[in-house]
A and B are shown apart, each in its own frame.
Chain A
Amino acid sequence: MRIKLTSIMVDDQEKALRFYTDVLGFTECRDIPVGEFRWITVTSPEGPSDVELALEPNANPAGKAFQDAMFEQGIPVAAFEVGDLTAEVARLSAKGVVFTRPPMTAGPVMLAVFADTCGNLIQLYQPTP
C-alpha cells in the first residue's frame, strides 16, 4: 500500500488549475472530463514525480461547509515542503498571494500560511537543521 494520490477541495476547478500551476508552479498531470466536473491532478516539478494532488470540486454542500469552517478558523488543509521558505514567500507575495501567517519558527520547522484563492489555507514549511 502506497500513498500516491491526495486531494484538496477547490471552489472552482479552472481557477484552481491556473493557481496551482501558474502561481505555485506545479505541473498539470491529468485533466479528464467527468460529467460536469473534471478529474484534475498536478505534480511537483521538484518531485516525487509520481505523487499527484487532485483538485476536486467542493460542489457537495457538506464539503463546502467543512472547507469554509476550516478557512475561517485559520486552519491550513494541506502543507507543502519547501527548501527556502523566505524565498518562496517572497516569490509568491510578488505574484499577489495573500499570506495569513508570515514566516515563523515552530519547533523543528519554519512555516508560513497562504490562501490558495480557491477556499483553502495552505501551509508551507521548511525543516530547520
Chain B
Amino acid sequence: MLLRHDGFRRLCRARELLAQLDGPQPTIEALAREVRISPAHFIRQFEALFGVTPHQYRIQLRLDRAKHLLAAQRRSVTAICMEVGFSSLGSFSTLFAQRFGEPPSVYRRRIQAADLVPGCLTLMAGVPDRSFREAERRALHDTSGNQSRSPHAHQADEHHGG
C-alpha cells in the first residue's frame, strides 16, 4: 500500500489524538471522522502503518502508563487502573498480564523489590526516579570511599520517590 503525504499526516494525527489519554475519549468512529477517513479504511490503514489497530494502540498506551505509575507511585492498583481509563480491575489485570507477562500487583511487588541493575536496557525501561537518584548517591559515596551504605538503604528513602 502506498500512503501519500496527506494520508500519512492524517494517520499520524489520529495517533496523536489516541495518545491523549486525559479527558473524554473519542470513539474510533469519531476519530476516523475527525481525520476524514472512513472508519473501515481508517482501521485498516492504521494497522498497516503502526502494526496495531487504533483500539489496540489506545489500550497499549493505557497499559504502558499504568506500568510507569505502578513503578513510580505508591497509590493502589485500583486507583491507577481508574486513572488510566479502565473501568474494570479484572479486565485491566488481564490485559496488563497479556502485555507484560504478569498481573499489575505482581509487577509492582517485583519492581519495587528489585535492586538497580545498571545498563542501557535499565535506562530504557524508565525505572523510577528514586532508583536514578539512589544510583547517583551510590556513585558519589563510592568515589568518596564511603562503602558503609547498605545496597538496600534506598528503602528508607522512599519518601523522595513520590
Contact = CB atoms under 8 A, between A and B. Distances in A.
Contact of B126 (A60, A71, A115): A60
Contacts of B60: 12
Contacts of A59: 64, 124-126
Contacts of A56: 121, 124
Contacts of B51: 11-12, 15, 19, 117-118
B3 interface: yes
Interface in A1-52: 11-12, 15, 19, 34-37, 39
B139 interface: no
Measured as residues with beta carbon below 8 angstroms from the partner, the interface class of chain B is 20 to 34
A127 to B, nearest CB: 23
Given A37-B124, A57-B124, A117-B49, 8 more contacts: A34-B121, A35-B117, A71-B12, A72-B12, A74-B8, A99-B1, A115-B50, A117-B51
A105 interface: no
Contact of A58 (B1, B45, B124): B124
Interface of B: 1-3, 5, 8, 12, 45, 48-52, 60, 64, 100-101, 117, 119, 121-126
A35 B126 CA distance: 12
Nearest to A37: B121
Main secondary structure of the interface of B (DSSP, over half): helix
16 contacts: A11-B51, A19-B51, A35-B122, A56-B124, A57-B125, A59-B64, A60-B124, A60-B125, A72-B12, A93-B1, A96-B48, A98-B1, A98-B49, A99-B1, A100-B8, A102-B2
Interface string A90-106: 00010011111010000
Contacts of A107: none
Contacts of B5: 74, 100
Contacts of A39: 121
A119 interface: yes
